[in-house]
Amino acid sequence: MRRMDQLHVNDAVAAALHQGRPVVALESTIITHGMPYPDNLETARDVEQAIREK
């Protein structure tokens, strides 16, 4: 099995890569282990939205 066959790439990410647009990967340890629920979920959504608006 090829390595890429083991990885799912979101359609929006694939389109951005195909069009030469930037793609951002977020480190999530602080969200998954460092923040209490529901603050962690709200923070993750806020960060994603801020990036998408740029």
Per-residue pLDDT of 18-47, as tens digits, reads: 999 999 999 889 888 989 999 999 999 999
Q: What is the pTM of this model?
A: 0.68
What three-state secondary structure class fits 9? coil
- Mean pLDDT (whole number) for 1-9: 75
Give the total residue count for the chain: 54
Alpha carbon distances (Å) from 31 to 18, 24, 25: 29, 16, 14
Of the candidates 5, 22, 2, which has an alpha carbon nearest to the alpha carbon of residue 13? Answer: 22
